[in-house]
Amino acid sequence: MSLSVPEGLQFDARGLVPVVVQDYASGDVLMVAWANADALDLTARTGLAHFWSRTPRVIAQRGHDRPEGSYTARLMAKGLDGALKKVGEEATEVVLAAKGESDQRLAEECADLLYHVLVVLEQRHVRPSAVLDVLRERRRSAR
Protein backbone atom coordinates (compact mmCIF):
# COMPACT_ATOMS: atom_id res chain seq x y z
CA MET A 1 0.00 0.00 0.00
CA SER A 2 1.41 3.36 -1.00
CA LEU A 3 0.67 6.30 1.26
CA SER A 4 1.03 9.98 0.48
CA VAL A 5 0.47 13.26 2.28
CA PRO A 6 -2.69 14.97 0.99
CA GLU A 7 -2.11 18.15 -1.02
CA GLY A 8 -3.32 21.48 0.32
CA LEU A 9 -3.36 20.72 4.05
CA GLN A 10 -3.86 23.84 6.14
CA PHE A 11 -1.32 23.86 9.00
CA ASP A 12 -1.94 26.13 11.98
CA ALA A 13 0.45 28.87 13.16
CA ARG A 14 2.55 26.24 14.97
CA GLY A 15 2.87 24.19 11.78
CA LEU A 16 0.50 21.46 13.01
CA VAL A 17 -2.66 19.75 11.79
CA PRO A 18 -5.02 17.58 13.82
CA VAL A 19 -4.98 13.90 12.90
CA VAL A 20 -7.58 11.28 13.82
CA VAL A 21 -6.67 7.64 14.40
CA GLN A 22 -9.50 5.18 13.79
CA ASP A 23 -9.87 1.44 14.17
CA TYR A 24 -9.87 0.02 10.65
CA ALA A 25 -12.57 -2.59 11.33
CA SER A 26 -15.00 -0.68 13.54
CA GLY A 27 -14.33 2.93 12.59
CA ASP A 28 -14.06 3.81 16.29
CA VAL A 29 -11.95 6.88 16.98
CA LEU A 30 -8.93 5.77 19.00
CA MET A 31 -7.26 9.14 19.47
CA VAL A 32 -6.90 12.65 18.15
CA ALA A 33 -3.38 14.03 17.99
CA TRP A 34 -1.25 16.60 16.19
CA ALA A 35 1.20 16.14 13.34
CA ASN A 36 3.61 18.47 11.57
CA ALA A 37 4.79 18.03 7.97
CA ASP A 38 7.73 15.85 9.04
CA ALA A 39 5.49 13.51 11.04
CA LEU A 40 3.09 13.19 8.11
CA ASP A 41 5.99 12.48 5.75
CA LEU A 42 7.37 9.79 8.09
CA THR A 43 3.92 8.24 8.35
CA ALA A 44 3.57 8.14 4.57
CA ARG A 45 7.07 6.72 4.05
CA THR A 46 7.01 4.06 6.81
CA GLY A 47 3.32 3.17 7.05
CA LEU A 48 3.59 3.64 10.83
CA ALA A 49 1.77 6.50 12.54
CA HIS A 50 3.97 9.38 13.69
CA PHE A 51 2.76 12.36 15.71
CA TRP A 52 4.03 15.65 17.08
CA SER A 53 4.67 15.38 20.82
CA ARG A 54 4.38 18.57 22.87
CA THR A 55 6.94 17.27 25.30
CA PRO A 56 9.77 17.12 24.46
CA ARG A 57 8.60 18.68 21.16
CA VAL A 58 9.72 15.83 18.97
CA ILE A 59 8.09 13.43 16.59
CA ALA A 60 7.00 10.23 18.31
CA GLN A 61 6.14 6.96 16.65
CA ARG A 62 3.21 5.66 18.67
CA GLY A 63 3.60 2.23 20.14
CA HIS A 64 7.36 2.23 19.73
CA ASP A 65 8.66 5.34 21.47
CA ARG A 66 8.41 4.92 25.22
CA PRO A 67 9.80 7.71 27.36
CA GLU A 68 12.78 6.38 29.27
CA GLY A 69 11.80 5.78 32.88
CA SER A 70 8.06 5.56 32.13
CA TYR A 71 6.08 2.76 33.75
CA THR A 72 5.64 1.08 30.37
CA ALA A 73 9.37 1.25 29.61
CA ARG A 74 10.22 -0.22 33.02
CA LEU A 75 7.64 -2.99 32.60
CA MET A 76 8.87 -3.86 29.10
CA ALA A 77 12.43 -4.00 30.44
CA LYS A 78 11.35 -6.70 32.91
CA GLY A 79 10.50 -8.95 29.99
CA LEU A 80 7.64 -11.35 29.52
CA ASP A 81 7.88 -12.87 33.01
CA GLY A 82 7.58 -9.44 34.64
CA ALA A 83 4.49 -8.59 32.59
CA LEU A 84 2.93 -12.01 33.27
CA LYS A 85 3.42 -11.51 37.00
CA LYS A 86 1.55 -8.20 36.74
CA VAL A 87 -1.28 -9.87 34.81
CA GLY A 88 -1.65 -12.37 37.66
CA GLU A 89 -1.66 -9.62 40.28
CA GLU A 90 -4.18 -7.52 38.36
CA ALA A 91 -6.47 -10.52 37.75
CA THR A 92 -6.57 -11.12 41.51
CA GLU A 93 -7.40 -7.45 42.08
CA VAL A 94 -10.27 -7.70 39.58
CA VAL A 95 -11.71 -10.67 41.47
CA LEU A 96 -11.45 -8.86 44.80
CA ALA A 97 -13.00 -5.68 43.41
CA ALA A 98 -15.86 -7.63 41.82
CA LYS A 99 -16.59 -9.35 45.13
CA GLY A 100 -16.73 -6.33 47.38
CA GLU A 101 -15.82 -2.95 45.95
CA SER A 102 -17.58 -0.20 44.02
CA ASP A 103 -18.36 -0.37 40.31
CA GLN A 104 -15.82 2.41 39.77
CA ARG A 105 -13.10 0.43 41.53
CA LEU A 106 -13.97 -2.66 39.49
CA ALA A 107 -13.70 -0.63 36.28
CA GLU A 108 -10.30 0.71 37.40
CA GLU A 109 -8.98 -2.78 38.15
CA CYS A 110 -10.29 -4.10 34.83
CA ALA A 111 -8.50 -1.25 33.05
CA ASP A 112 -5.27 -2.21 34.82
CA LEU A 113 -5.72 -5.85 33.81
CA LEU A 114 -6.44 -4.99 30.18
CA TYR A 115 -3.40 -2.71 30.04
CA HIS A 116 -1.09 -5.45 31.33
CA VAL A 117 -2.60 -8.01 28.93
CA LEU A 118 -1.85 -5.58 26.08
CA VAL A 119 1.75 -5.36 27.29
CA VAL A 120 2.00 -9.16 27.20
CA LEU A 121 0.58 -9.18 23.66
CA GLU A 122 3.15 -6.57 22.61
CA GLN A 123 6.00 -8.57 24.12
CA ARG A 124 4.82 -11.69 22.28
CA HIS A 125 4.26 -9.68 19.06
CA VAL A 126 0.59 -10.65 18.96
CA ARG A 127 -1.70 -7.95 17.63
CA PRO A 128 -4.77 -7.11 19.74
CA SER A 129 -6.79 -7.60 16.55
CA ALA A 130 -5.88 -11.31 16.71
CA VAL A 131 -7.71 -11.53 20.04
CA LEU A 132 -10.72 -9.79 18.52
CA ASP A 133 -10.63 -12.23 15.60
CA VAL A 134 -10.80 -15.15 18.05
CA LEU A 135 -13.78 -13.57 19.83
CA ARG A 136 -15.57 -12.95 16.53
CA GLU A 137 -14.99 -16.55 15.46
CA ARG A 138 -16.29 -17.85 18.79
CA ARG A 139 -19.39 -15.71 18.42
CA ARG A 140 -20.02 -17.10 14.91
CA SER A 141 -19.47 -20.67 16.13
CA ALA A 142 -21.92 -20.20 19.02
CA ARG A 143 -24.80 -19.36 16.72
Instruction: Express as a percent the part of the chain with pLDDT over 70.
Output: 87
Residue 51: closest CA among 16, 6, 95: 16
Q: At what angle do helices 79-100 and 103-124 cross, to 10 degrees?
A: 160
CATH number belonging to domain 71-142 = 1.10.287.1080
Q: Which sequence spans correspond to the domains of the chain?
A: 1-65, 71-142
CATH superfamily of 1-65: Phosphoribosyl-AMP cyclohydrolase (3.10.20.810)
Residues 23-36 pLDDT 10s: 777 778 888 889 99
Dihedral (CA of 105, 129, 25, 23) sign? positive
Q: The whole model's pTM is what?
A: 0.58
Residues 94-143 pLDDT 10s: 999 999 999 999 999 999 999 999 999 989 988 888 999 999 999 999 87
* Interatomic CA distance for residues 142 and 136, integer angstroms: 10
CA 80 to chain centre: 18
Per the CB < 8 A criterion, the answer to whether 83 and 119 are in contact is yes
Q: Which residues pair with 51 in a beta bridge?
A: 60
